[in-house]
């Protein structure tokens, strides 16, 4: 541990409302994993359901344990009020403050790792941990093969990939379930705004508020804290609070939503983005997609049956992504999903693309959703007519071809069966090899990926459409009449120049 981080002490504040079983699990984990000779635990009873019974159980559990303090609010203050009271009134130490939900289960070393991140740079103000259930801090974040983020699944993925992630991310906001901040910032800026009482959105407001003063929120990728999920607010009340407070956040920070989307799209490490595929679930068949949107009909006609034959349903979940006409021809085929669009975040093990028909935009979108890219290099049905009538040619598919081939983990030249064998080998390679290949691909396509978002996914087509409309307008009689009026009007007597 760095000398600066090792000099700092932490008070772990646990607001207590209900759900005694989860609370005791949290407390037991803290007592097991926290160095109470250095750090402190502060339990604050917010007079929720069964407050007296919870108080009795807590006092019994911490009796004689040094470093643990219990307090009770005189009335229910809500999460915001309880955290503010704990940090500014009850805890009079110079310790940094770690707010921890009572339905969490910390793992060994989490505080030390979060402190290392907090003091890695003078401008880091907040740190959150990774979890099974913490919105953008969840691991794996994207679920590609169904199933839940159980404690066991998140542990499996965390142990496999956390060492290949950066130690921390700079994030727009930190997650409130496990929220470490500097004491100096609480003194300077206060903690939570009462406008967000009794809860929801208060931690985001704090992060964005101190962010305006130059302090960064972070996510510690090597600290793990399990989270059962909110049990304090349920039903209509929960939804009402969330909606109202989200609107207030968007009013105060209009950039907030775009910032979160930008982080998720461009700042998450490749091993993190594809974690659910890098660590396959037991018994799950890999998904492989053939994406031929924009390809000539002759290519579709030849490639689809070859793909279905090479990737049998007993070993693969197959997907065809085609234009409307091609999709209509094969819709209803057995053991295959047919669609006309593919979500960037609906991850697949591999996407097969035709080299002569893949546009730059299609390449980037396949890159975003695919653990491995597969190129069909030789186009068996390449058009023999002049290239300019071909939409893929005008959309610069010829420029995407070399980049596609460089970025592909598998290239099919003749035998599709050989391509299936090569893909199987690529997906079963050692984890480090697969992550290295991902990182090389992301480095090579990073600028194109960012540019696609900046320009808009259909920007080229949109510009062309607008140019056509303007040309049609200029050619119209109404436009020419308007131009004449505009030239003659200034000549009217008495009109100001």
- Convert the pLDDT of each residue in 438-486 to its tens digit: 999 999 999 999 988 765 544 444 444 454 555 556 556 666 666 666 6
Residue 465 contacts by C-beta under 8 Å, 6 or more apart in sequence? none
Most confident of 145-149, 233-237, 315-319, 463-467: 315-319
Q: What are phi and psi of 192, to 5 degrees?
A: -95, 145
What pLDDT sits at residue 172?
A: 96
Q: What is the pLDDT of residue 461?
A: 44
pLDDT exceeds cutoff 60 at 18: yes
pTM as predicted: 0.85
Over pLDDT 70: what percentage of the chain? 87
CB within 8 A of 344, min separation 6: which ones? 365, 368, 369
Token output for 280: 């396959």
Angle between helices 431-455 and 256-266 (to 10 degrees): 140
CA atoms within 13 A on the CB side of 117: 28
Dihedrals phi, psi of 325, to nearest 5 degrees: -65, -45
Question: Which pLDDT belongs to residue 376?
Answer: 92
Rounded to the nearest integer, the mean pLDDT of the chain is 89
- List Cβ neighbours of 36 (8 Å cut-off, separation of 6 or more): 65, 66, 67, 68
- Residue 299: which pLDDT band, with cuts at 50, 70 and 90? confident
Please write the tens of the pLDDT for every residue from 221-247.
999 999 987 555 555 677 888 889 999
Listed range (92-106, 220-234, 285-299, 381-395) with the worst mean pLDDT:
381-395
What CA–CA distance (Å, rounded) separates 256 from 188? 23
In this structure, what is the dihedral angle of CA atoms 184, 186, 190, 191, given to the nearest 10 degrees?
A: 160
Q: Determine whether 280 is exposed, middle or buried from the number of CB atoms within 10 Å of its CB (0-12, 13-18, 19+).
A: middle
């Amino acid at each position: 541990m760095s000398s600066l981080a090792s000099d700092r002490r932490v008070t772990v504040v646990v607001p207590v409302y209900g759900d005694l079983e989860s609370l005791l699990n949290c407390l037991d984990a803290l007592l097991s994993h926290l160095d109470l000779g250095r750090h402190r635990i502060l339990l604050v009873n917010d007079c929720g359901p069964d407050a007296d019974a919870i108080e009795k159980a807590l006092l019994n559990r911490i009796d004689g344990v040094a470093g643990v303090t219990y307090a009770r609010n005189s009335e229910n203050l809500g999460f915001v009020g309880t955290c503010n009271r704990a940090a500014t009134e009850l805890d009079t130490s110079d310790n940094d403050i770690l707010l921890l939900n009572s339905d969490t289960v910390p793992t060994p070393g989490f505080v030390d790792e979060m402190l290392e991140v907090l003091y890695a740079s003078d401008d880091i103000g907040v740190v959150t941990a990774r979890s099974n259930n913490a919105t953008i801090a969840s691991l794996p974040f994207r679920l590609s093969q169904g199933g839940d983020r159980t404690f066991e699944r998140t542990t499996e993925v965390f142990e496999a990939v956390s060492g290949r992630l950066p130690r921390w991310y700079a994030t727009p906001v930190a997650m409130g379930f496990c929220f470490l901040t500097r004491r100096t910032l609480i003194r300077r800026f206060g903690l939570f705004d009462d406008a967000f009482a009794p809860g929801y959105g208060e931690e985001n407001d704090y992060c964005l508020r101190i962010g305006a003063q130059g302090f960064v929120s972070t996510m510690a990728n090597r600290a793990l804290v399990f989270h059962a999920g909110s049990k304090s607010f349920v039903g209509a009340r929960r939804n009402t609070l969330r909606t109202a407070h989200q609107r207030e956040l968007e009013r105060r920070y209009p950039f907030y939503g775009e910032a979160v989307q930008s982080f998720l799209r461009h700042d998450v490490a490749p091993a993190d983005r594809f974690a659910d595929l890098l660590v396959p679930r037991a018994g799950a068949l890999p998904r492989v997609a053939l994406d031929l949107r924009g390809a000539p009909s002759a290519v579709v006609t030849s490639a689809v049956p070859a793909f279905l034959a090479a990737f049998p349903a007993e070993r693969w979940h197959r997907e065809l992504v085609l234009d409307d006409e091609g999709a209509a021809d094969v819709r209803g085929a057995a053991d295959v999903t047919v669609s006309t669009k593919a979500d960037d975040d609906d991850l697949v093990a591999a996407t097969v693309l035709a080299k002569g028909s893949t546009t730059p935009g299609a390449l980037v979108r396949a890159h975003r959703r695919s653990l491995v890219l597969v190129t069909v290099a030789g186009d068996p049905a390449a058009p023999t007519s002049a290239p300019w009538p071909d939409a893929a040619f005008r959309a610069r598919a010829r420029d995407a071809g070399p980049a596609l081939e460089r970025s592909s983990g598998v290239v099919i030249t003749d035998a599709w069966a050989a391509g299936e064998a090569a893909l199987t080998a690529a997906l079963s390679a050692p984890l480090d090899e697969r992550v290295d290949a991902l990182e090389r691909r992301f480095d090579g396509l990073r600028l194109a990926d960012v540019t696609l978002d900046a320009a808009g996914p259909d920007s080229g087509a949109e510009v062309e459409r607008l140019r056509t409309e303007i040309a049609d307008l200029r050619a119209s009689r109404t436009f020419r009449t308007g131009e004449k009026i505009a030239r003659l009007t200034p000549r009217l007597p008495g009109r100001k120049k």
